A = this chain, B = another copy of it.
């Protein structure tokens, strides 16, 4: 572990007593709205759960976002729900200033030990190599969005919304990796699926608030760039899902997520 990398440093948790951990929500993972990114908050929960469960890898996590995240001192209260032979389940509550911000339930396993049938009826994103790609947010100043300095993105052409021209197509494919040379591991994937701007920006929206995020981690990722695919197909009464796939450099699906999110009221611009 490169303990000096921001992901490791900023998700570090200190065990206190009885499943309680001290944490610090740093300002280095702020998203649109200058609030801590929801994926980062999940990563804090998972770091704490990894400290109380006997398996190393999150297999599935569901996070409920109760209040906006707050930069500063926080605590993670964990509970061991069940420890099985090959899987263990725990719950984590991220609390800031006495208020619960995120409630997460997660099952952990040892993804180095799983085996069984494999049949994938899907293809990784078809992207040019990263060195032939551009930054999708190129030319777009994102004030206060510090997570853009933590996560590097590459895509065939810049995002429409970043150019002031939302495409009307809420789907995207791109490369992703941590800045600073740290490869993603299984524990980092649930945070990364929420690390980019919501794809509903291509519908002229200016943001979106996550209600719930569930991530399935399907394998430990190989080193290198991750190929991602994101889409929204159903915006209904202001609510929408966002589906996210992460494929590793060996061409394997390593994570799949879906979130339910809520558009801001009366803030639509562009081609709505």
- Copy number in this complex? 2
> Is A236 a contact partner of B100 (Cβ separation < 8 A)?
no
Q: Mark A142-173, 1 if CB is under 8 A from B, else 0.
A: 00000000000000000000000000001000
Q: In the docked arrangement, what's the CA distance between A256 and B105, Å?
A: 20
Q: Check A214 for interface membership: any CB of B closer than 8 A.
A: yes
Asked whether A214 lies within 8 Å of B258 as measured between CB atoms, the reply is yes
- Please state if B235 and A119 are interface contacts (CB–CB under 8 Å): yes
When distances are taken between beta carbons in the complex, the residues of chain B under 8 Å from A223 are: none
A177 at the interface (CB under 8 A from B): no
Residue of B nearest to A87 (CB): B211
Interface flag for A73 (CB, 8 Å): no
B260 adjacent to A60 (CB under 8 Å): yes
Kindly list chain B residues whose C-beta atoms are within 8 Å of the C-beta of A233: 120-122
Distance from A110 Cβ to chain B, minimum over Cβ atoms (Å): 11
Task: With both chains docked as a complex, state the minimum distance between the C-beta of A64 and any C-beta of chain B, in angstroms.
Answer: 5
Asked if A114 lies at the interface with its beta carbon under 8 angstroms from chain B, I say yes
With A64-B107, A107-B212 as contacts: A115 and B237 at CB distance below 8 Å: yes
Closest 8 CB pairs of A and B: A116-B238, A62-B62, A114-B237, A119-B235, A214-B214, A66-B82, A60-B212, A121-B233
24 contacts between A and B (CB under 8 A): A60-B64, A60-B212, A62-B64, A62-B105, A64-B105, A81-B103, A87-B211, A105-B105, A114-B238, A116-B238, A116-B263, A116-B265, A118-B235, A118-B237, A120-B234, A121-B232, A214-B214, A216-B260, A218-B236, A219-B237, A234-B253, A236-B252, A241-B256, A258-B258
